[in-house]
A and B are shown apart, each in its own frame.
Chain A
Amino acid sequence: MREIGAEMERELVIIGGGPAGLAAAAAAVENGVAAEDILILEREPELGGILLQCIHNGFGIHRFGEELSGPEYAARFAKKVAELGIPSLLSTMVLTLHRMEDGRKEITAVSSAHGLIRLKARAVVLAMGCRERGRGALNIPGTRPAGIYTAGAAQKFVNIKGFMPGRKVVILGSGDIGLIMARRMTLEGAKVEVVAELMPYSGGLSRNIQQCLRDFDIPLLLSHTITQIHGKERVTGVTISQVDEKRRPILGTEQYFACDTVLLSCGLIPENELTRQAGIPLDPVTGGAVVGENRETEMPGVFAAGNVLHVHDLVDFVSAEAELAGAGAARWLAEGDHAGVKLAVRPQGVIRYVVPQTVSLPADEDVRLFFRVGEVVEKAAVIVECGEKVLYKGMRPKLLPGEMESVTLKAETLSGLDSGQLTVRLEKR
């Protein structure tokens, strides 16, 4: 590698060194790309991504059959990447990505060690993860006192820096990070007064409702939101109101909770500024790129995986998806574009989105479709069709918006198809 103000060239560049980036890199090598032809670019001073601050257990049950903590899960992949000899540049933030006339991609980045870096790559994997929706995106009325943090920011304070943001806490939103922080702060001696959730269901995993809230008798108010924040310098309390089915606060239901800290856990947004700026089409529902079954975006040779593509609840699925992207990139580098036809995959009814959004045929492997529902549905059949032909039908006892679902389409089932589109819908019992 050349130094300072460096110009570099690589077959494959991976943007983001979280679990998605690491798994994609390893899969690319396992599928024939030479390790030294790859470069991982990571903004933080070490590899591992958001998992480094997720010190709780629950990672890797599908993958390793063990309950690991976030740092342990990340370490397994970082170790694999090191053993394979895949180079990375840390403390390096990618600023721009664009496709050059010859089809290669040009990336600019800044790093503490090299200054401005210009990199040319034939293929790219986007693995930038996601960020939390902050107060700006939520529009809560009231003053602007200190003491209001996203749950992830609080997680970083407590778990990495070692200081508690407050002692009396109200949490808005029941996403997993908020639930995990409710338990964490309770164990560290804080009092979590209440978790208020706008929707009539929780956005987090059921197990986290149990082990993070019920275990500590923390009340969860569904269909409730913060309607006022009180306090001048520091937050002193919040008013919480019930909302109707249109999510409008109901007058007369106001309750006051004194607190010195408010944590926001109101959803995650894929980090796609680079993607957007590169002109890669995004799916308005997922907030991530439109991809095929190998996670290739609509820009040939650019792949995406992990939370940058759609928000996952389980890192195991992030790793599996990133392996598809890494293998896809390796294959694209060796063979070029996929000949054949591309069918669109469309969600219907209460199914909000499906990833991948397209499937290339003929398929030589099974294709797994991931989707989320927009409301709680009990006892329903998931049906995948292409025109009149039913490709898959399977019962689900219960589908929750907070939990990602999937169906696997066998390669044989897809073999006869060459036109039309795939639709995914639910049929209530």
Chain B
Amino acid sequence: MSETIRELTCIVCPIGCTLKVTMDDGKFVSVTGNTCPRGAKYAETEMTAPRRVLTSTVKVSGGHLPLCPVRTKGDIPKELLFEAMRAVNAVSIPAPVSIGQVVIEDLCGTGVPLIATRDIHSV
């Protein structure tokens, strides 16, 4: 037995509860300090395979703005953030763009799409 306790800040919602996670030999045991069940789920993922939502921008041609903001439609593995950024910065899409439009269908093999988060009209 080698139980350790780690403190985490839950990032699921802006309340930002302080979570105390008990781990045993790298395995998740239990968590306290979460105000809701989403916090417990976060703690477990965070300690085993952390995930994040990525937001950025992509280039747009022929639009009323040079960039369109984008986000991943769900979270992706945290260690892929920089690789995903390279993929995001490599794309350029033509205007018009509509909010919710899929920009990359499967971002870096995560199965998670990258979507536009605003409308851009053509000029």
Contact = CB atoms under 8 A, between A and B. Distances in A.
B6 to A, nearest CB: 12
Contacts of A159: 57, 67, 69
A58 B11 CA distance: 9
A375 to B, nearest CB: 18
Interface stretch (A90-98, A123-131, A205-213): A205-213
Given A55-B56, A207-B11, A187 B66 contact: no
B78 A215 contact: yes
Contact of A187 (B59, B67, B82, B118): B82
Contact of A207 (B10, B56, B71): B10
Nearest to B89: A188
A75 B85 CA distance: 25
Interface in A30-87: 52, 55-58, 61, 67-69, 71-72, 75
Contacts of B16: 205-207, 210, 403
Given A159-B57, A187-B82, A207-B11, A69 B67 contact: no
Interface in B24-77: 52-57, 59, 65-67, 69, 71
Contact of A162 (B8, B55, B59): B59
A162 B57 contact: yes
A427 B66 CA distance: 53
B85 A187 contact: yes
B65 to A, nearest CB: 7
Interface residues of A, number: 30
B117 A72 contact: yes
B99 interface: yes
Contact of A69 (B18, B55, B59): B55
Nearest to A56: B55
B109 interface: no
A71 B118 contact: yes
Nearest to B85: A187
A116 interface: no
Interface in A183-239: 187-188, 205-207, 209-211, 215
B93 to A, nearest CB: 14
Contacts of B59: 162
B10 A67 contact: no
Interface size classification for chain B: 20 to 34
A314 interface: yes
A61 B66 contact: no
Contact of B11 (A52, A72, A188, A211): A211
Given A187-B56, A207-B11, A160 B118 contact: no
Contacts of A71: 69, 99, 117-118
B102 interface: no
A75 B99 contact: yes
B66 A161 contact: yes
Contacts of B9: 206-207, 209-210
Contacts of A187: 54, 56, 81-82, 85
A67 B11 CA distance: 11
A254 interface: no
A313 interface: yes
Nearest to A72: B117
Contacts of A207: 9-11, 13-14, 16
A72 to B, nearest CB: 5
A314 B82 CA distance: 28
A392 to B, nearest CB: 20
A178 B114 CA distance: 25
A314 B118 contact: no
Interface of A: 52, 55-58, 61, 67-69, 71-72, 75, 158-162, 187-188, 205-207, 209-211, 215, 313-314, 398, 403
Given A71-B69, A187-B54, 12 more contacts: A55-B56, A55-B57, A55-B69, A68-B117, A71-B99, A159-B67, A162-B57, A187-B82, A207-B9, A210-B8, A211-B52, A215-B52
Interface of B: 8-11, 13-14, 16, 18, 52-57, 59, 65-67, 69, 71, 78, 81-82, 85, 99, 117-119
14 contacts: A55-B55, A56-B55, A61-B14, A68-B117, A69-B117, A71-B117, A75-B99, A162-B57, A162-B59, A187-B81, A205-B14, A207-B13, A210-B8, A211-B11
6 A-B pairs with the lowest CB-CB distances in the bound complex, closest first: A206-B16, A55-B69, A71-B118, A207-B11, A210-B9, A207-B16
